[in-house]
Amino acid sequence: MKVFNYRNLPLEDLGKFQDIDPAVLEKVTAIIEQVRKNGDRALRELTLKYDACFLSSIKVDLKEELKNCARLNPQLKKALARAIKNLRRVARRQVKNLKRAGHFRIQPQPGVILEQKLRPIKRAGIYVPGGRYPLISSLYMAAIPALEAGVEEIIICTPPDKTGNIPPEIIFLADLLGLKEVYKIGGAQAIAAMALGTETIKAVDKIVGPGNIYVTAAKKLLYGKVDIDFIAGPTELTIIADSSARAELLAADLLAQAEHDVLARPVLVSLSKKLALQVKRELELQLSQLPEPRVASEALRNNGLIIICSKPQQACAIANRIAPEHLSLFVENPEKYARSLTNYGCLFLGQNSAEVFGDYCSGSNHILPTNGASRYTGGLNCVDFFKFVYQIKIEDRAVKTLARTASLLARTEGLTAHARSAERRYPGQKGKI
């Protein structure tokens, strides 16, 4: 990891966010057009090309596939049940509070009755990344807020292996959550199918869930045709630590983040030079003990930072500038620091509050903003599956003043038909207030 003092810290390293390469966008644009024109046939061709698998069926037969779930580790099933229980409790409180605040009726002026209502979207799509170890936690993190919000139709897209199968853990989870539509499609083509629809896959209203750069590019290009959670970059962790922190825990958390991806961004902001050097040594030791250290090693070498500063205000300023996905406080009195921190996806207070707990089972959602997006948005939650809609009723007594107001404003904007629409409801009010 690169080591810097606060005085000579290159600010460009703090703003080192990932852009999508134009070549990737061009490639993904071609994939989207292929799916738009050829539907299911394109999905089969692209799956054969990128996943080395021929699909006889795009949709998973859950009843048949559930037979393979009997051999799943019973302890894993219990762990999933506990994680889901915690996440559901949080999501239900979110919905309860949203409904209390989201529904209201008001009269902005006598005779004008306005209601705001909260409506869940109808159909959502969840992308679950594949690979050697599919991210099963992303499935329940995405599904539970949608379920608790009342989304009627939820589908899952996830890439198959070379035999045309998807992991039994995903099948088990889909059944546990009551989700009936699971499709064996991955990559940019899955995002295109969910956004545009094919003969087999009906288009959705919103797509959520993490993915690689091609998935991210497809979400970016199709946003507007469909809603998305956010444009995500590589995963990030920033830790602020003082002399009270334990070096082995700091190293463990930084490594946990680094092993996600060679582009992962682990950052330590240390208020102690001695601690910073201890962590550097501990990282080397723990890295050597990993069964597969290559990814973590590359992420630490290319993207890892250790920043040494002397004042809490400096540490907080650095964290706010980075605006990380995850922000951990390994300090005495973390609540005091929290008051100065504004930009993060999720804040972890104290050494016991490991970021890995947030990844899996503490009740917070792990689908969080990256690439500096925490400056303007938060993590996935139930509100993402609602829309706020207005309902207006105008009584006779309000028409006169509204017609006058709307007429003058419309004519000021040069919209004559708008003005006449208002004036016809109360003749003689042209241009008057």
Query: Is the per-residue pLDDT at 15 higher than 80?
Result: no
Residue 367 amino acid letter? I
| Domains of the chain, first to last | 22-228 (3.40.50.1980), 234-378 (3.40.50.1980), 395-433 (no CATH)
What band does 16 get if pLDDT is binned at 50, 70 and 90?
A: low
| Beta carbons within 10 angstroms of residue 97's beta carbon | 12
The predicted structure's pLDDT at residue 266 = 95
Average pLDDT over residues 297-319: 95
pLDDT on residue 14: 74
Contacts of 433 (CB under 8 A, 6+ apart): 404, 405, 408
Mean pLDDT (whole number) for 83-111: 95
Q: Is residue 132 packed enough to be buried (19+ CB in 10 Å), middle (13-18) or exposed (0-12)? A: exposed
Helix residue ranges per DSSP H, 52-186: 62-65, 74-102, 136-149, 168-177
pLDDT digits (tens, 9 = 90+) for 215-244: 999 999 999 999 999 998 889 999 999 999
Average pLDDT (117-131) is 94
Angstrom CA distances, 277 to 2, 78, 268, stand at 12, 40, 11
pLDDT for 341 equals 97
In the predicted structure, residue 419 carries a pLDDT above the cut 90:
yes
Query: pLDDT at position 121, please?
Result: 98
Strands 104-109 and 112-120: antiparallel
Q: Above 80 in pLDDT, residue 18?
A: no
Work out the pLDDT band at 430, boundaries 50, 70, 90. Answer: low
Side chain identity, residue 186: G
> With bands split at pLDDT 50, 70 and 90, how would you rate the model's confidence at 429?
low
- Is 93 a residue whose pLDDT tops 60? yes
DSSP 231: -
Match 């609602």 to its residue by tokens: 386
User: Count H helices, E strands: the chain?
Assistant: 16, 14
Asked which of 61-75, 129-143, 285-299, 417-431 is least confident by mean pLDDT, the reply is 417-431
How many alpha carbons fall within 13 Å on the CB side of residue 235? 23
Q: Report, as an integer, the average pLDDT of 420-426.
A: 92
CA distances to 42, 142, 385 from 91, in Å: 37, 11, 11
Catalytic residue among 181, 236, 326, 423: 326
pTM above 0.85, yes or no: yes
User: To the nearest whole number, what is the mean pLDDT of the chain?
Assistant: 94
- Rounded Cα distance between 328 and 326, Å, is 7
315-352 pLDDT, tens digit per residue, is 999 999 999 999 999 999 999 999 999 999 999 999 99
Q: Is 282 a catalytic residue?
A: no
Q: Please tell me the predicted confidence (pLDDT) of residue 428.
A: 60
Average pLDDT score over residue span 200-223: 96
Q: H or E segment at 24?
A: helix 22-51
Greater pLDDT, 68 or 283 = 283
* Amino acid code (one letter) for 355: E
Q: Exactly one of 259, 325, 355, 423 is catalytic; which is it?
A: 325
Tokens for 326, please give them. 């995850």
Residue that the structure tokens 């002026």 belong to: 109
Q: What is the spatial distance between Cα 35 and Cα 50, in angstroms, rounded to a whole number?
A: 14
Q: What percent of the chain has pLDDT over 70?
A: 97
Angle between helices 213-222 and 187-196 (to 10 degrees): 20
Of all residues in the chain, the percent with pLDDT exceeding 90 is 87
What separation, in Å, do the N-terminal and C-terminal C-alpha atoms of the chain show? Answer: 67
Catalytic, 326? Answer yes
